[in-house]
Chain A
Amino acid sequence: MTVQDEMLAPASEQELSEVIAEAHARRTPIGIFGGGTRIEGRSPEWLTLSTARLSGVVTYEPGEMTLIVRPGTSVSEIEEMLARENQSLAFEPADLRGVLGGNGTPTIGGVVAANDSGPRRLRVGACRDHLLGVRFVDGQGRILKNGGRVMKNVTGLDLGKVMCGSFGTLGVLTEVVMKTLPAARATETLALPGLSVAQAVEVFSVALATPYDIAGAAWRDGTAYLRIEGLDRQVPYRSEKLRAMFRNREIDQIDAEGTRALWRSLRELDHFAGTAAPLWRLMVRPTDAGAITGRLAALGGAFSLDWGGGLIWYCGPGSGTQLRAALPSGHATLIRRGGAEGPAFTPPPPVVARLSDQLRRTFDPARILNPGLMDA
């Protein structure tokens, strides 16, 4: 799908507000598209709205670790700009085009709307932890703001948190303020081959109980990976300490360049590229991962781990009901349909569902924004 075709692309917050106000008055559903790299379809009678022209950096202050940017800005453009100042979006948003398809470019608005976070989420927190403020247009066309551009702010209710991960169901983001962090000066990976999921999680739990700031703990095809980051002298020291801890296991060291390639591949799910089956993201209590993956194997699909076992990617057959029944803790989200039916998100318990539904009506009384998405 080419995004700009037959799409409305407002060029300003004001214009966007007018479009939404009118859609609200006419009860016209709106599908919101950033880069359009997601999978859920849209119906022909919807208005489709692109954030492509709401783009550009408003300000970037490396000494304050803050970036103010419009939502249609591409993530790669942002990453290049930050890299020139040796900084990064530390939560490491992933480019999942390899598995999701689509030919758009991922945007920062899409990343915030999906609360996308990569492997480093384990140490530094998720996208939502790096979001300092938002401007958005709600389902009635009101232009609103919350939070701000400073690192500490508890003034009023924290609406940025609910906007982040609301997949455009509460409003259209028009500006986001992100916290940027210094990029690691040095990095290295320890690879421990020949481990089952349960063994890998044991390794992770031991490594993550050390003060060595493990910045990635993933498992794929029987190998556990530990990413070490820090200042130049920290990395060899931490590597040595960790290797000593696991000295009776086989360990390979992967250098900085190899590390960067490896973790890109892990976070972009290269191992599932070219597959077509449903793709699920499971967030679980790490020590449950062994038992859960046992059940997933019985369903017949393939899986990999991230976040020290707290995140399981599953690609394969099985219904949402079956998958969710396999979880003693946490939840399962469908990332790529691949023919699977039923709700993409784990249905919340009744009272939480009621509150969520009322919140949605508060932001979008006519329920025109991405209707159907995130429905219980």
Chain B
Amino acid sequence: MSTIAMPAPDQAILNRKEEVVAALRAALPAELVISDPAETHAYECDALTAYRCPPLAVVLPRTTAEVAAAMTVCHAHGIPVVPRGAGTSLAGGALPTADSVIISTLRLRGYLEIDTDNRFIRVQTGVTNLSVSGELDPHGFFYAPDPSSQLACTIAGNIAMNSGGAHCLKYGVTTNNLMGATVVLTTGEVIELGGTEMGPEGLDLLGLICGSEGQLGIVTEAVLRILPKPEGARPVLIGYDSAEVAGECVAKIIRSGVIPVAIEYMDDVVVRAVEDFVHAGYPTCTAVLIVEVEGSPDEIDHQIALIREIADTLNPVEFREARNGDEAMAIWKGRKSAFGAMGRINDYMCLDGTVPVSQLPYTLRRIGELSKEHGLEVGNVFHAGDGNMHPLILFNANTPGDLERAEAFGADILRLCVEVGGCLTGEHGVGVEKRDLMTVQYTDDDLSIQMAVKDVFDPDWLLNPAKVFPLQSSAAHRSAEAR
């Protein structure tokens, strides 16, 4: 059994299932409402698969107006609503409760406007991340945030989680690339935040919505900033025998003034797993860095020369430069298959804490020690330029007690991240997974103001229940409100 508690469903709501479904079918074309358990079953979990629960019903609206209609019905009936994109959340952000209605973005798939003169694209939020760049490709533009899940995940999920990606060192995360959004509030009211201009007027509600994990409203349309495609990109691979030295190399590159688009780090556990899996030809050493730079061929040569100069002062085990597209692919091949390679060894749990770059070596060492204490193996693969770590804890889901041990180990790692000046989650979000650890990073007052902000948007707390805020904190907050 897993250890994260979800509240018991409201029996009164479960009893009213037929009434609620009928009301939804009256407000929307009936085929957009799914209530047969055989079908709602497909929505029982996201990528945090240890937690599952089918919802009461699922609604698949095609327009903002249909989302608003569904929200209005749920609001009138006091039914919790769980927004859902592609369900790739690693934090259980899209996990339903039995008494909730899922509002899915599956059919919000329109590309509404591409404007390269003003450098934006307007989409319905159910489109996948990768397809946005696909749509822009013929125009010579792309959408920068690129989570590894980009083939499947939606813009809606990206906005809700403020997702990042390998290239955010240079281009920023979702919030830095989001210009506007259409948001449906719990009441069914529709608001437009931001737009096609370059800054908000008044309080930056758009900035608040981004990363709010479906707690404040449902985002149905978005205006995204688009960028011209770079002339080219090329990675180098640098191997070191110590995590400290690799960390130093990262800091020195950053200080040099070269801003690579990505600096990725893999430790020996991951490198070995990758080698067994795809034979990427990585050196067997403690730390492998992949650094990618962009520009014209000449600019790339110049930047790589600068990086080489820095790397060489630290005696690398290997410095491998991609001379052509095939060699570039070979360098990235291992990194891209890292999660899959670890998955071949065992089940894994992927963490997402961020630490200050200077604390990377210490954090890695402590993770190694914790691994021994908990008796579970861990591999590290992460975005080193910004200190966003992804420790992968290996465990066996079929061994009783293993998941709990992995969760305890994970919690220790996240506490460590906060202790060294970092945070619980760099890009995956809190969801249910890190909900109860929020008190490690925030005081009661810090959490209380966040919950008071939720009150403003969702006074009845119908949106995405039992996520983000520790159950105890939210219960205390809400009973204080009621008094």
Contact = CB atoms under 8 A, between A and B. Distances in A.
Chain B associates with chain A: yes
Contact of B203 (A86, A153, A165, A346): A165
Interface stretch (B27-35, B46-54, B68-76, B291-299): B291-299
* A: interface residue count bin: 35 or more
Interface stretch (A3-11, A136-144, A259-267): A136-144
Nearest to B174: A154
A223 interface: no
A113 interface: no
B428 A154 contact: yes
A162 B422 CA distance: 22
A283 interface: yes
A76 interface: no
Interface in A122-162: 122, 125-126, 128-129, 138, 142-146, 148-162
B449 A64 contact: no
B120 to A, nearest CB: 9
B140 A148 contact: no
A159 B449 contact: yes
Interface residues of B, number: 94
A14 interface: no
A31 B273 CA distance: 60
Given A149-B356, A150-B354, A155-B441, A125 B176 contact: yes
Contacts of A190: none
Contacts, number: 256
B167 interface: no
Interface stretch (B13-21, B78-86, B126-134, B208-216): B208-216
A138 B443 CA distance: 15
A214 to B, nearest CB: 10
A148 B204 contact: no
Interface stretch (A19-27, A35-43, A284-292, A295-303): A284-292
B445 A143 contact: yes
Contacts of B452: 362
A159 B428 CA distance: 18
Given A155-B423, A155-B425, A330 B203 contact: no
A209 to B, nearest CB: 5
B195 A161 contact: no
Of A61, A128, A209, A286, chain B has the most CB atoms within 10 Å of the CB of: A209
Contacts of A144: 443, 445-446, 449
B453 A211 contact: no
A184 B201 CA distance: 30
B386 A285 contact: no
Interface in A187-237: 205, 208-211, 230-234, 237
Contact of B257 (A86, A149, A155, A374): A86
Contact of A331 (B173, B197, B438): B197
A161 B208 contact: yes
A122 B227 CA distance: 11
A358 B386 CA distance: 35
A374 B202 CA distance: 7
B117 A154 contact: no
A338 B201 CA distance: 21
A255 B208 CA distance: 41
Contact of A310 (B168, B197, B306): B197
A147 B37 CA distance: 40
B173 A152 contact: yes
A351 interface: yes
A77 interface: no
Contacts of B387: 64, 150-152
Contacts of A348: 201-202
Of A85, A211, A230, A233, chain B has the most CB atoms within 10 Å of the CB of: A211
A15 to B, nearest CB: 18
Contact of B424 (A61, A155, A362): A155
A349 interface: yes
Interface in B179-209: 185, 189, 191-193, 195-208
Contacts of B426: 150, 152-154
Nearest to B160: A154
A181 interface: yes
A147 to B, nearest CB: 8
B396 interface: no
B229 interface: yes
A355 B198 CA distance: 22
A287 B251 contact: no
B455 interface: yes
B319 interface: no
B33 to A, nearest CB: 27
Interface string A110-129: 00000101000110011011
User: Which are the 10 A-B pairs with shortest beta-carbon distances?
Assistant: A161-B207, A63-B251, A152-B426, A151-B386, A330-B197, A182-B257, A331-B201, A205-B117, A283-B197, A150-B354
15 contacts: A66-B356, A117-B199, A121-B198, A129-B176, A144-B445, A154-B429, A157-B450, A157-B454, A162-B203, A209-B116, A233-B298, A310-B197, A352-B202, A352-B205, A362-B455
Given A152-B386, A374-B203, 11 more contacts: A61-B356, A128-B204, A129-B172, A154-B162, A157-B450, A158-B208, A158-B210, A161-B206, A208-B119, A349-B191, A351-B185
Interface of A: 61-66, 85-86, 115, 117, 121-122, 125-126, 128-129, 138, 142-146, 148-162, 164-166, 170, 181-183, 185, 205, 208-211, 230-234, 237, 283-287, 307, 310-311, 329-331, 333, 345-346, 348-349, 351-352, 355-356, 358-360, 362-363, 374
